Amino acid sequence: IRPLLTATTDDGWFFDTELLLLAEHNGLRIHEVPVDWVEDLDSRVALAATAWDDLRGLLRVAKAKARGTAAVAGLPRRPDPRAAHPDAVLAARRNSRLTWPAISFAVIGLLSTLATAALYAIGREWWSPLEANLVALTVTTVINTEANRRFTFARTGQGLLLVHTLAALIFLGYYALTSLALLALSALVPTPSRALEVAVLLAASVFGTVGRFLLLQGWVFATRPHRTPDWHREDAR
């Protein structure tokens, strides 16, 4: 149990729940043992605060599972009945690490897209479609990039200036895509309504967001490969 205790971070009411979640996630068998229980009728607990802490704990463990960081080293090895070959286990772990970035990026992207649409609608009161689009995307892209750096890809140690510089290059393509969509709308509909402009902008943003995710994951926040020392490979064999 010592490796599990080392990986368990909560020291309050959520402690035992986190311990069991980690044990189950790492393939350990959980056995229920009956005990004698003496109820303290004068026991008190801050219900709202405890419930909130438990919800935060569940989210934290879920993030760790999705990122692949909930795997605890030093535990007894047990055969995985779902895996016919050890490579299948490694592939499953790699796929699990993709889950959290996709979820986090989708949530941040949705909020950013809604914010872009709102800023665009406000900016159209004073500026042309391309100018309003530029201002809206510039504001949301900076915030979006920093949020993804901190939460989606967890690269807080990566250079801030480098990340935003590379993201600015992606921004140019994103701006070009959405601007072309607005220009195409103007060519097809001489006097489009603001609602139609926002709808076209949102549709173009969906395509741009998919490409932006692939570029951020595969380029800006890519994990650089490193060579495994010969002695380490020999020890693994």
Q: What is the pLDDT of residue 222?
A: 74
Sign of the dihedral through C-alpha 86, 88, 89, 95: positive
Question: Is the per-residue pLDDT at 228 higher than 70?
Answer: no
Is the distance from CB of 44 to CB of 53 less than 8 angstroms? no
CB neighbour class for 185 (10 Å; exposed up to 12, middle 13-18, buried from 19):
middle
Share of the chain above pLDDT 90, in %: 17
Tokens 């229980």 map to which residue? 37
Identity of the amino acid at 69: T
Tokens linked to 212: 């932006």
Is the distance from CB of 120 to CB of 133 less than 8 angstroms? yes
Lowest mean pLDDT among 134-138, 170-174, 224-228: 224-228
The per-residue pLDDT for range 4-27, each reduced to its tens digit, is 999 999 998 899 999 999 998 888
Nearest to 24 by CA among 89, 87, 70, 90: 70
Question: Is the per-residue pLDDT at 33 higher than 70?
Answer: yes
Q: If DSSP states are collapsed to H, E and C, what string results for 200-230?
A: HHHHHHHHHHHHHHHHHHHHHCCCCCCCCCH
Nearest to 162 by CA among 224, 209, 113: 224
The per-residue pLDDT for range 69-109, each reduced to its tens digit, is 888 988 887 665 555 555 555 555 555 555 777 888 888 88
Q: What is the pLDDT of residue 19?
A: 94
Query: Is the pLDDT higher at 85 or at 64?
Result: 64
Farthest CA pair distance, the chain: 79
- pLDDT band of residue 232 (cuts 50, 70, 90) is very low
Nearest to 68 by CA among 101, 116, 34: 101
Lowest mean pLDDT among 16-20, 135-139, 191-195, 224-228: 224-228
Tokens 């790492």 map to which residue? 26
